[in-house]
Structure 1
Amino acid sequence: MSDLWFKDLDELELVEGALLLNSQIDPQVNFTWVEMQLEKLLDEAEQVLSVEVNEKARFDAFLRLFYQEWGFEGDYENYFSSENAFIEKVIQRRKGIPVSLGALLLFFGRKLGFPVKGISFPTQFLIAVNWSDRDKSYVNPFNGEYVAKPVLHAWLKGQEGAAAQLKPEHLNVADNSMLIGRWLGVLKSALMREERYTQALACTDIALSLVPDDPYEIRDRGFIYQHLECNQVAQKDFEYFLEKCPDDPTAELLKLQLKALQEVPQVLH
């Protein structure tokens, strides 16, 4: 099992857990540089916010610093790029997706003493702010704007249909282990789209170290092996998935893939 999973992710900041995950996929990740940048930005934030006393005004000043002065923003043009899931790249480019930008917001927010938590809302990652003297607020880390509950309800309807109801469990605090698991899936999908199959395979290896018999991870591994021209291994993975999930919507397509693999002549080295 990967060294990443010997650590208690819930005792780390989300950004630290993500950095550990990134290093398992790309050993070239520069831990020292990332840590130096986080420390530098935190020092700057402490200086800028030292003049603010009111908690709400101080937090709003932090959001302006993060999105306007530092220039962090959602990557609208290349949302599905793997660079948005590598913390080192997010800091370098000042672009990310809700979970990567949110991880940075949580890190700085907690270090600065703000009552912030991460929420794995069905449509995207959110930041909750538990004010001491007012109702809880929600921030969209993709753009730094506050999001009211009616808007969250509209997002939910957009994803689940007009009958969807906003429930308290939709706004539960997420634990890091679950978030890192989702982050791993996002990263794997991005790497597969970019045809970076060796790194995508590292993602499936981590996932299968946690749940060795997951048929969907094994199916994805089969696709990766197929692209790496490891056809016999890919065939076994596809056969396993079809055995475990014969009624899955992708089963018929996978049968065609399997038939094509079986017709490819095997090369003996």
Structure 2
Amino acid sequence: MPTAYEYPAPTPLGYFAALVGDDDALPLFEAATSIAQDEYPDLDVQQVLGDVDQMLARVRRRCAADAGPLQRLRTLNQFFFRDMGFGGNVNNYYDPDNSFLNAVLRTRRGIPITLAVLWLELAQGLGLKAKGVNFPGHFMVKVNLPNGQVVIDPFTGQSLSREDLSERLEPYKRRNGLVDDFDVPVGLYLQAATPRDILARLLRNLKEIHRTQEDWLRLIAVLDRLLILLPDAWIEYRDRGLAWAEMGDVRLAVADLETYVEHADDALDRETISHRLQELRRAPN
């Protein structure tokens, strides 16, 4: 039994819940780093934060005291993409390690969103007005400068013009019927993503990898985090329930699918999931 001065360490899930409880004080980089504790149980998150603080100190030393925002941005990009060699993992894009910031720091390879989270931590540490952007199909970062806005692809370090962005949007717009009268300006796709939005996109990337690989245990771990982050995301209850069913845990599968059916009144698959629920209830315990 712990003494008055000894408290049990929080579980990884409890730690994550404490980090994401308040939108106004959500530490994006720390919360994103902590996701890797599911795969790396001995991960020291504070050590990772310390390593990034050292990187920030290095890039700060390269900036003159009177450097303006544009010069600081150029210095950061030179340091991050060229000197440190961070970039996209083009050879193994769907490796789960690309979603774990401790692994990205070690290999200097990642996917757009993890590279963006790391880049944003450094950019904001340099005093830049930098934000993440939930651009369709490819996470971006943007920086507001005195003379305008710069949009950067964190996978390559390339600055993108409005024409570049429009070109990248074309396949998405065609797939979703957003053409002619239904077209919308590029600027609407460049709104800043909140830390909660960014974490959700990061977790859903991992979710898709584990679901494709039918790695149900890892999928459930990701869904546990998603439901802490987004308690009203009823579709995640559905997916966790189906994963529990694949694992053979009927009780937990039924509990999650009941929650989904109860709240997803207008869902197109509500009847299908209700039938699955009936099957599970009839299954022998």
Q: Same fold (TM over 0.5)?
A: yes
Q: Does 1:158 align with 2:177?
A: no
State the TM-score, normalized to the length of structure 1: 0.81
Structure 1 residues 93 and 193: alpha-carbon distance in aligned structure 2, compared to 1, 3 A threshold: farther
Indicate the SS of the match to 1:49.
coil
**1:68-217 residue pairs with structure 2 within 5 A?**
68-132=82-146, 134-161=147-174, 163=179, 164-209=183-228, 211-212=230-231, 214-217=233-236
How far apart, CA to CA, are the structure 2 residues paired with 1:233 and 1:149? 48
- Unmatched tracts of structure 1, length 5 or more: none
**1:252-263 residue pairs with structure 2 within 5 A?**
none
How far apart, CA to CA, are the structure 2 residues paired with 1:49 and 1:210? 37
**More deviation in 100-109 or 178-187?**
178-187
How far apart, CA to CA, are the structure 2 residues paired with 1:120 and 1:213? 20
- 1:248 pairs with 268, 275, 281, which one? 268
Q: Give the corresponding residue for 2:9.
A: none
Structure 1 residues 111 and 128: alpha-carbon distance in aligned structure 2, compared to 1, 3 A threshold: same
**Matched residue type, 1:173:** A
The answer as to whether partners of 2:261 and 2:270 remain within 8 angstroms in 1 is no
- 1:5 pairs with 5, 13, 17, which one? 17
Superposed CA RMSD: 3.2
Greater relative CO, 1 or 2 (CA 8 Å, sep 6+): 1
Indicate the SS of the match to 1:136.
strand
Structure 1 residues 210 and 37: alpha-carbon distance in aligned structure 2, compared to 1, 3 A threshold: closer
Structure 1 residues 9 and 29: alpha-carbon distance in aligned structure 2, compared to 1, 3 A threshold: farther
- Unmatched tracts of structure 2, length 5 or more: 1-12
Indicate the SS of the match to 1:28.
coil
How far apart, CA to CA, are the structure 1 residues paired with 2:167 and 2:114? 23
Offset of 1:262 from its aligned partner? 8.0
- Aligned residue pairs total 264
How far apart, CA to CA, are the structure 2 residues paired with 1:51 and 1:97? 33
Offset of 1:194 from its aligned partner? 4.2
The answer as to whether partners of 2:99 and 2:202 remain within 8 angstroms in 1 is yes
Structure 1 residues 247 and 204: alpha-carbon distance in aligned structure 2, compared to 1, 3 A threshold: closer
Identity over the aligned pairs, expressed in percent? 24
Q: Does 1:226 align with 2:239?
A: no
The answer as to whether partners of 1:119 and 1:126 remain within 8 angstroms in 2 is yes
**Matched residue type, 2:157:** G
**Matched residue type, 2:173:** E
**More deviation in 117-126 or 210-219?**
210-219
**More deviation in 236-245 or 30-39?**
236-245
Q: Give the corresponding residue for 2:7.
A: none
**More deviation in 192-201 or 110-119?**
192-201
The answer as to whether partners of 1:117 and 1:128 remain within 8 angstroms in 2 is yes
